[in-house]
Amino acid sequence: MRGVSVIGIGSTKFGKLEDKNLEALAVEACDEAICDAGIERKEIEAFFLGNYVSGMLLGQETLAPMVAYSLGLRENLGATMVEGACCSSSIGLRLGFLLIKSGAHDIVLVAGAEKMTA
């Protein structure tokens, strides 16, 4: 049976962080996770970004492709924003797990980002 592991993690500081927008926060955390995993960006085969309210608060519905582009991920990478209220990122993690467990992908990047103060 194929195993699945979390190989890298990243996070930003918590707070208002008025000098950074939501995309910048997501990119910062993802950069840290990629570095922690010790992988090349070209190895990432799919990207899931959990987010609940960027559409309502920021008018931004295409956050996942924007973050993927800012990270320099492959152009044909599947970048998907996942929304499921308070479990948005958990849904992304589950989808990544299933893609790896099934053998469809080997490396998937999953992140969660919210900014509710701007």
Which residue type, as a one-letter code, is found at position 41? R
Beta bridge partners of 48: 80, 110
Backbone angles phi, psi at 22, to 5 degrees: -60, -45
CA atoms within 13 A on the CB side of 66: 13
Ordered structural domains, the chain, with CATH: 22-112 (3.40.47.10)
pLDDT in tens, 76-116: 798 999 999 999 999 999 999 999 999 999 999 999 999 88
Question: What pLDDT score does 118 carry?
Answer: 60
Question: What pLDDT score does 60 carry?
Answer: 83
Strand order in the sheet with 46-50: 78-82, 46-50, 108-112
Q: Report how far Cα 53 is from the mean position of its chain's Cα atoms.
A: 15
For residues 63, 87, 99, 47, the Cα torsion angle rounded to the nearest 10 degrees is 20
> What does the H/E/C string look like for 3-22?
CCCCCCCCCCCCCCCCCCCH
Pick the residue with more confidence: 118 or 43? Answer: 43
Rg (CA), the chain: 14
Question: What pLDDT score does 64 carry?
Answer: 96
pLDDT in tens, 14-57: 998 999 999 999 999 999 999 999 999 999 999 999 999 888 88
Instruction: Please state the pTM of the whole predicted model.
Output: 0.93
